[in-house]
A = this chain, B = another copy of it.
Amino acid sequence: MKALSFKSLAQIPLLTDLPEALIDSLSKSCRVEQVSRGDYIIERHDTSRRLFFLLSGQVRMLDMNRQGQEIALAIIDAPTHFGELAVVDGYPRSAAVQATTRCEIASISPKDAETLIYSVPLVSKRVMQNMAAVIRKNNLHRLVLQQQNIANRLASYLLGQLPVGMTPTQKVCIKNMPTQYDLGILLGTTRESISRAFSQLSEEGFIKKEGKSLYLENIDGLRGLLEDD
């Protein structure tokens, strides 16, 4: 097992600015794994309660719809943590977590995770703030899925990536865009429909793709689309 550097863990937003001794001790008790694209890090209904730190790469959180199709709840990028729900409430995992790229992952035992979450006030506060953000995003996402038109659903999603309260007047770059496949399972449609929606928004001059980055070229225009829906 590879030793984990202090720096790797200290870059995780949940852990930044914690006392050095605490991060050092966490680094020593971490289990570190390299996972390949497509690997499952958590399976649905798992009863494991480890807390995970995504050191590099991207993962998708997956649920199943009633027809047994996978739907994406979220797509998240390093550096971040995941898996705190089962630590907090002790129930089986609500979602599967699958690597969408090669990832480096560290994890701590349920006991260490509980101590971290419940006994370090700064961590408790951050966990609450993250959960609050998840609840607000879920409410917004429900509105996104109500859009009948897929281009409008994509526009809604893109606007949802802007920081809360941001009212940009210039163009904005979204880095590490999820793949069209992931956007499909996130937005309740197919990869093909997402591809057509991208073409439509590009042709209308609202967005411009460059590799894994996407530029929102006309934010007011995107907002206008939604008002007309």
The interface of chain A, by Cβ under 8 A from chain B, is: 63, 65-66, 73, 85, 88-89, 91, 94-95, 117-119, 121, 124-125, 127-129, 131-136, 138-139, 142-143, 145-147, 164-165, 226, 229
Contacts and interface: CB of A to CB of B under 8 A. Distances in A.
B229 A66 contact: yes
8 contacts: A66-B143, A88-B132, A91-B165, A94-B136, A95-B139, A118-B121, A118-B124, A119-B121
Contacts of A131: 128, 131-132, 135
Contacts of A138: 135, 138-139
Given A125-B118, A143-B65, A229-B66, A133 B94 contact: no
A128 B117 contact: yes
A127 B139 CA distance: 19
A142 B229 CA distance: 22
A226 B95 contact: no
Contacts of A63: 139, 143
Nearest to A138: B138
A185 B143 CA distance: 14
Given A65-B146, A73-B139, A85-B132, 16 more contacts: A66-B146, A66-B226, A88-B125, A88-B128, A88-B132, A91-B136, A91-B164, A94-B136, A117-B128, A118-B121, A118-B124, A119-B121, A124-B124, A124-B125, A135-B135, A135-B138
A177 B164 CA distance: 36
A88 B130 CA distance: 9
A147 B118 CA distance: 38
A139 B91 contact: no
Contacts of A85: 132, 135-136
A107 B59 CA distance: 40
